[in-house]
Amino acid sequence: MQALALAILLFPAAGGIFLGVFNWRGSRLLTAMVGPGVIWAAFVCVLILLGNNVDQDFTYWTWIRAGSFEVPFDILIDHLSLFMCLVITGVGGLIVTYAVGYMEHETDGSYARFFCYMDVFVLAMLILVLAGNTVFLIVGWAGVGLSSYLLIGFYYWRRSAVIAARKAFVMNVIGDIGMILGAFVLFVSYHQVVYLKLFPALPHTPDATTELAAFLLLVGGIAKSAQLPLHTWLPDAMEGPTPVSALIHAATMVTAGVYLVARFHPLYDATIYAHAAVAIIGAVTALFAASIALVQTDIKRVLAYSTMSQIGYMFLAVGIGAYSAGLFHLLSHAFFKALLFMAAGNVIHALHDDQDMRHYGGLWHDMRRSSVTFLAGSLSLAGIIPFVGFFSKENVLGEAFSRGDGLGYAVWFIGFVTAVLTGFYTGRMWWFAFWRPASEERPVAGHLHEAPLVMLVPVAVLAVLTTVGGFLQIKAIGGWALVDDFLKPVLGEERIRTNGLEYLATVLTLVLAALAFAAAYNFWIRGTWSPAGWRARYGWGARVLERKYYFDELYDWAFVRPLDRLAGFTDREDRSLIDTGAVDVGAYTERGAGALSLTQTGFLRSYVLVFVAGVVIAAVLVLWRASS
Amino acid sequence: MLSAIWILPALGGLIVCFLPRGAARVGAILVALAELALTLVVAATFDASHHGYQYAEQASWIAQFNVSYHLGVDGLSVWLLVLNALIGALAVLATPAAWPRASAFLGLMLLMESGMAGVFLSVDLLLFYVFWEAMLIPAYFLLWLWGEGERPNYAALKFVLFTLVGSLLMLVGVLGEYVFSSAHTFDLPALAAQPPSPAIQFGLFALFAAAFAVKIPVWPLHSWLPDAYMSAPTPFLLLLAGVMGKTGAYGMLRVLLPLNPHPVNWWDWNWVLPVLAVIGIAWGALLALAQRDLKALVAYSSISHMGFIVLGIFALNAQGQEGALVQMLNHGIIVPALFLIVAWIYARTGSRDRSVLTGLAPAMPVLAGVFLVVTMAALGLPGLNSFVGEFMTLLGAWQLSPWLAVAGCIGLILAPIYMLRLFQGAMYTEVAGPPDHPAEGVVRKDMARGELALIAPLLALMFVLGLYPYLVVHALPALGQGMQVLHW
């Protein structure tokens, strides 16, 4: 089993090396086989481990040792890491298979490069969830940042893609530093890096150290999961190819922050402020992102903001201690958001890479299969019963509501408002892009080509999962809870719901979200209410939303430009102050030396010559004495 | 055995100087490879469980002053010797056959390598000083006679004056150790066992610290570095940037701290240097951010990276100092790789300006891939080598004062900004067009096999040291002499 656990990592590693080093201008067929193949192989390894009920920390070698600081290279297999591995390799396998069709227009070199990066990403993501200690976690954490960077900048001849990639990288490095400092605090205070030794050493009552460590780790979490205020990179990350958006910026990497809090739940359980901060950041981000999604016109950006918003729900859940509810929503979101991105990818592919929804329309008629799957994803996102999104979102909000304290009601209320907004912007996306008659600006006027089978089958699989996956955990209708049961060994018992009131809240949320979805029809199809009229009345609001609350402008003004100015200042001062100072000292010395010698350089060289002679003589002496 | 490590390149270098061009290159390569093999044998047979110097050689040299010819290796020096030999070999291999006055150039390079090997080998303070000076002489001539750019003369002079001032201070310190230590010897273990009184240590500490700080260089003594690096020809630059700066850091660990473990307590040098190191980390990174010239960018980033080494050394704990050693090796691996890449880009495009260069990746995909790995190593990506060193130096500094570690993190945030500007500026963006239409004027020539072979060992080491740094650091507890500051 030890070898099998390592094999989960070795398969994607081998795939990445093979594609990047040996097959980068080789056979396309081989690339198309190896790229997804290694991920499915890792999936099989995960299934075997699961089937054998493995629950163990495997140590392979000593990575770093300095005094009492000892970091092993270890893999922790438990139900939480296996759960994450299933999502990563299962949904990841589907998405990378889909990419075989989506990326077919790329040149040979780019084709292999794409799958190489994807395999490297899956490797890093698996390291992130399988790492058994805090330092190894950081390796995975930064590794996904690297692959995200490479894939956002995949079309490196587009300046916007290159800049977006760099922005994502730098923001994530800020998060990485939070993680690094958090690991320092944990090591210095508790002298452990390995989870299984660290967690029992943590105190059970809140103190400043645990709060500090939890906040520092949270910095890493919010950077990776695009939560406020380190979120601005995610919308720009849509510069990457659509399968990348589906895999990295929807299903897996951006949910790493949720995994982090769940993994470190003994730490967060021992804190008050840091734990509440997780819930509040999540709730506020959920509402913030949903409001921006109302006005975006690029379909991938709407999906990006909805991703931010849904991850906000997950943060909300783990922030109030409902860890397995957060992870259930993570799973559910991986299904329906990957589905939405890939169905949208089919459309974008057919419309020659046009992502502007204003140029869409008529898709229900022309691309029936992709549209049906997109509808399943939309209803799930909007939280309509019986799709998976309904059950998981209800689970999160139900836990918040039944918590019964101020924080619980506050985040429930924000989550409730967000759910209604989600219904509305999802409805807008569906009616406006898919249902409405074809736009005159549509780049392809006539008949559209439905996607090939290699792209349709993964989408169909996800559509099925989205439709029936909710029945894993049907607490909303008082049924079983398979996800809770599965994660119980790691995360402990979920709270039992105490009163019946949250079922009322559930019904209210469902009805209003459904009404909002339907109301969007009145706006964009029937024209009962006109979007233009609303814009005329609330133009300032639309502008604020369209400019994304001016965060990019703020950061540019507060950080980017001052940094460039500071660098310029340093450069000038280094020349004028430090260098001149040193050279002045040198000049005075030269004048002094001039008195001793004819010319200054002559002085130097004669010194050097004398020295050479001295060294040679010394060396000869040594050899002579050593031999005698 | 150890004598051979410095005598081989010294003799080889002298002979190569007088060989005709073609033979000189072959001879120099053979000498450098033999040197590498020799150091690898020492490293492979090194006993990590043994305390004290290994393969020691001792002979009386100037008996009346207790100066001895005493060589030895321990866990601190053994891998630096390998690094020296490896970079020396790469530097010789990177010298093209058509180099001007190739024989003398190669000979001097080997002499410089010999001097640096001597520094890492010496267990006698006076011997250390002799080698310290000896490595400077070939470096000066290499910079003066083969310098590039507008003012190679000026750069060489500045370099030598800075270093000589440091050396003279150190000479005073060397004599001071002899006079004031009750041991009355130049033997390092004996001096470390019987340090002078704290007040004397205070002064000696300042002398040695200044000498080593110039060499590393520590802010604000760094102003020789940009001029020297900018005018140094690439093969020489590999040795200069890759190894010579490490002799300063090595001196701090080998001489400065063990010989002056308790300077007076009313003024703590152990606080001054980490603060300067942190300033250097941020200062160098900001300077790198302001540069347009790729070579200058790498040179300034070097100041930032060396700051981590000093910070780790003066954290005065096992994590910090071990991190410093790892970081010395890392920097010795990464910076030569970066300078090689910059030189190759310059050879293909005739430009080193990141605002002019653009979109080279389609024309040279292999170079782009190699450059990507080196960039990631340089900005400290976890999993590659630099992360281990930076993580450990910062962990060490955190235990001294969390604020030092937090301030050091500024370097970690700025590194991706300037490194990605460097990498993306040269390799990416649209001006060169999509893969089928590279820009005009770009030489469509990817890396030659020889170039790939040259950088391949460095790339391999980035992965090896990133994934298994224990390979190197497991030897570190086998120290040659009592170092009060290292607690294992």
Shortest distance, CA B431 to any CA of chain A (angstroms): 7
Distance from CA of A39 to the nearest CA of B (A): 21
Determine whether the interchain pair A158/B487 forms a contact, defined as Cβ–Cβ distance below 8 Å.
no
- pLDDT of the residue at A592: 55
The confidence score (pLDDT) of residue A622 equals 52
C-alpha Rg value of chain A to the nearest Å: 29
Contact A157 B317 (CB under 8 A): no
Residue A38, pLDDT > 90, answer yes
Considering only CB atoms, A173 lies closest to which of B221, B317, B412, namely B412
Is residue B486 within 8 Å of residue B318, measured between CB atoms?
Answer: yes
Percent of chain A's residues with pLDDT above 90: 24
- Minimum mean pLDDT among A19-23, A142-146, A208-212: which range? A19-23
The pLDDT of residue B53 is 83
**Integer Rg of chain B from CA:** 22
Q: What pLDDT score was predicted for residue A321?
A: 85
| Mean pLDDT to the nearest integer, A233-262 | 89
pLDDT greater at residue A93 or residue A620: A93
**Lowest mean per-residue pLDDT among A395-404, A578-587, B303-312:** A578-587
| % of chain A residues with pLDDT over 70 | 90
Residue A602's pLDDT is: 44
Report CB contact under 8 Å: B394, A184.
yes
pLDDT confidence of residue B329: 92
Q: Which residues 384-413 of A are in CB contact (within 8 Å) with B? A: none
- Mean pLDDT to the nearest integer, A148-169: 87
Is residue A5 scored above 80 in pLDDT? yes
Inform me whether the C-beta atom of residue A567 falls under 8 Å from chain B C-beta atoms: yes
Residue A87: predicted pLDDT: 92
- pLDDT grade, residue B433 (50/70/90)? very low
Q: Which of B308, B390, B424 to mutate to test the interface with A (most CBs of A within 10 A)?
A: B424
pLDDT of residue A624: 55
Q: Cβ–Cβ of B289/A567 closer than 8 Å?
A: yes
Note whether B59 contacts A176, CB cutoff 8 Å.
Answer: no
CB B428, CB B361: distance < 8 Å: yes
Beta-carbon separation of B428 and A162 below 8 A: yes
> When comparing pLDDT for A267 and B473, which is higher?
A267
> Is the model more confident about A397 or about A600?
A397
DSSP state letters, B236-271? HHHHIIIIIHHHHHHHIIIIIHHHSSS--TTS-HHH
Cβ atoms A573, B283 nearer than 8 A: no
A606 → chain B, closest CA residue? B137
3-class SS shares of chain A: helix, strand, coil, % to 5: 80, 5, 20
Query: How large a percentage of chain B has pLDDT more than 70?
Result: 93
B63 touches chain A (CB under 8 A): no
Q: How confident is the model at residue B434 (pLDDT cuts 50, 70, 90)?
A: very low
A218/A258 Cα distance (integer angstroms): 10
* Alpha-carbon span A512 to A525, nearest angstrom: 20
Q: What is the pLDDT of residues B270-281, one digit of tens each?
A: 678 888 889 889
pLDDT, tens digit, for every residue of B298-330? 988 898 999 999 998 888 888 888 888 889 999
Res A498: pLDDT: 60
**Burial (0-12, 13-18, 19+ Cβ within 10 Å), B191:** buried
Interchain contact B129–A (C-beta under 8 A) = no
Do B435 and A107 make contact, defined as CB atoms within 8 angstroms?
yes
CA distance B75 to B60: 25
Report the residue of A127, A135, A157 to disrupt the B interface, i.e. the one with the largest count of B CBs within 10 Å.
A157
- The mean per-residue pLDDT over the stretch B383-391 comes to 88
Residue B314 in contact with partner chain A when CB distance is under 8 A:
no
pTM metric for this prediction:
0.86
Q: For A521-574, how does the pLDDT look when each residue is reduced to its tens digit (9 = 90+)?
A: 877 777 777 777 777 777 777 787 777 788 888 888 878 888 888 878 777 777
Strands A56-66 and B54-62 come out as unpaired
Among A180, A85, A177, A182, which residue's Cα sits nearest to residue A127? A85
pLDDT (0 to 100) of residue A262: 92
Contact in structure between A612 and A622 (CB atoms under 8 Å): no
Q: Which residues 172-211 on chain A approach chain B with CB closer than 8 angstroms? A: 173-174, 176-177, 180-181, 184, 187-188
Residue A217 has pLDDT above 90, yes or no: yes
**DSSP 8-class letter at B334:** H
Average pLDDT in chain B: 84
**Cα of B232 to nearest chain A Cα, Å:** 19
Contact B161 A586 (CB under 8 A): yes
Q: What is the pLDDT of residues A497-528, one digit of tens each?
A: 666 777 788 888 888 888 888 887 877 777 77
For B445-461, how does the pLDDT look when each residue is reduced to its tens digit (9 = 90+)?
A: 777 788 888 898 999 99
φ, ψ of residue A572 in degrees (nearest 5): -65, -45
**Distance, in angstroms, between B142 CA and closest chain A CA?**
13
| Residue A363 pLDDT exceeds 80 | no
Of B406, B413, B433, Cβ closest to residue A174: B413
pLDDT given at position A618: 56
**A434 Cα distance to chain centroid:** 28
Name the residue among A73, A162, A618 with its Cβ closest to that of B130: A618
Residue B66 tokens, joined: 């207790």
Whether B469 contacts B390, CB under 8 Å: no
A604 has a chain B CB within 8 A of its CB: yes
Q: Sign of torsion, CA B230 B232 B238 B242?
A: negative
Chain A CB contacts of B164 under 8 Å are: 604, 607
What residues are paired with B124 via a beta bridge?
Answer: B187
Q: What's the confidence (pLDDT) of residue B81? A: 92
- Decide if pLDDT at B118 tops 70: yes
- Least Cα distance to A334 among A147, A95, A91, A82 occurs for A91
B236 close to B109: Cβ distance less than 8 angstroms: yes
pLDDT at B485: 46
Q: Mark yes or no for CB contact B381/A142 under 8 Å.
A: yes
Task: Return the pLDDT at A128.
Answer: 93
